[in-house]
Amino acid sequence: MTTLNIGAAVAARDGAYRKIAWRLMPFLMLCYLCAYLDRVNVGFAKLQMMDDLSLSETVYGLGAGIFFLGYFLFEVPSNLILHRVGARRWIARIMITWGLISGAFAFVETAWQFYLLRFLLGVAEAGLAPGLLLYLTYWFPAHRRARMTVLWFVAIPLSGMIGGPLSGWIMETFAGSHGWAGWQWMFMLEAIPTILMGFVVLLVLKDRVEQASWLDEGEKSMVRAELDEDNQQKSHHGTIKEFVADKRLWTLAAIYFCVVMGQYALTFWLPTLVRNAGIREPLHIGLLTSLPYLCAIVFMLMAGRSSDRHRERRWHLIVPMVLGMAGLTMATLLGHSVTLSLFFLCLAAAGILSASSLFWMLPTNLLGGVSAAAGIAAVNCLANLAGFFSPWLIGSITTLTGSPASGMYFIAAVLLLGALCVLRIRAADVNR
């Protein structure tokens, strides 16, 4: 084949994936953005809700964490159902039920109601993140997936950037309107986009490459061939026993557990850390919390591009985890200074959220087929138990000591431990 023909083939291949990216990624980002608003807003609701309902920091921490018990129990079954019935119908179901339950938080009056709805929210949301991760493996081979995964995960810090100021604005503007508190209006209004996007999913999403009307037959064949070749390099477990016995799955779960501990320490406690630095108005807190998320977006895009360019996965995960550890530690130590605290919170957010997205290059490069559906869900499900322990632990420590500092130092140590665990994964298994 001549250089000209090779160049034409590469251009055609790049063009096909560009079509897929432009068709799918903005939509997937919007879905996750709408959904993730329902995670960000509970941290802002805390600023008013706890006082209005006379709930302690421990109650908030436990309630924030109970979400992940429901998530844990239904994660693997949800992803297996998605693999069987198709992404379109199942993701739509997840988003619609999730949005309805999120809106119901406006009617919470007791701690037990808060606990129950947080648990049901976890049940409803179970399967969304691993489902979308699995969905990306249906469209992109391994060497193109880091940028796409990071691009989708940008929705997390973007939701923080948008959700922070939006939540603060709603809580200030609508407070007292029609007898409702600001936090009640926030839960109700921010649930609407998620419900609407659930119905849009049914109209827009395609389950497989073969259904993509925006690709011609040659492009479909080319993409399908690359995906089939990519899947041949992955592990496929024949039995449940083989699946459970695979030590790599448990190592992956341990690594992501550490990442998630940091992620939810940031998600649930960032508004509180900013307030502790001396900022009092909800809108001002919301605007300042958007800065760490903005920094995270820039760093995530750079890290994802670098990971794909060099086809290197381990050190592109380790370095962000270490940065997250350093950022959380220094932000806590210098919490008396708004400027210094914000600077290191930006570093923490950039590191932790980049690690949260780049981690998924490990399991999606290792596993294929049903093993991928079950494995991604199992890793996400086990690791997201950290979403229970992280807010509960920090809430308990805050109630006991009057400060979240000790809890943040513990989270920083966990991130360092997770970074060391990454070295247990063989580079040859994931670097492609």
Q: List, in order, residues 6 or more apart from 420 with CB less than 8 Å away.
A: none
Distance CA 31, CA 24 (A): 11
Reference 72, options 344, 351, 380, 314; nearest CA is 380
Q: Where are the domains of the chain?
A: 15-430
Fold category of 15-430 in CATH? Growth Hormone; Chain: A; (1.20.1250)
pTM: 0.71
Q: How far apart are CA 106 and CA 90, in angstroms?
A: 26
Q: How many other C-beta atoms lie within 10 A of the C-beta of residue 43?
A: 25
The dihedral built from the CA positions of residue 99, 101, 106 and 112, taken in this order, carries a sign that is negative
DSSP 402: S
Which ranges of 277-385 would DSSP assign to H, the alpha helix? 282-310, 315-333, 338-358, 361-366, 369-383
Cβ atoms < 10 Å from Cβ of 11:
10
Q: Return d(Cα 93, Cα 33) in angstroms, integer.
A: 17
The count of other CB atoms within 10 Å of the CB of residue 315 is: 16
Distances (CA, A) of 151 to 14, 146, 156: 17, 8, 10
Residue 398 is encoded by which pair of tokens? 């805050």
pLDDT tens digit at each of 432 positions of the chain = 455 466 677 777 778 888 888 888 888 888 878 877 776 677 777 778 878 888 777 787 788 778 878 887 887 788 778 878 888 888 899 999 989 999 999 998 888 999 999 999 988 888 787 788 778 888 888 777 778 888 877 877 787 677 777 887 888 888 888 889 888 998 899 889 889 989 988 888 888 888 888 888 888 888 888 887 766 655 444 444 555 666 778 888 889 999 988 887 877 677 777 777 677 776 777 778 788 888 888 998 899 889 888 888 899 999 999 999 999 899 888 877 778 888 898 999 999 999 988 888 887 776 655 556 667 777 877 787 777 777 778 777 877 887 778 888 888 999 999 999 999 888 877 776
Question: Quick check: 282 and 175 in contact, CB under 8 A?
Answer: no
**CA distance to 27, 44, 249, 264, per residue, from 388 (Å):** 29, 18, 21, 9
- The alpha-carbon radius of gyration of the chain (Å, integer) is 21
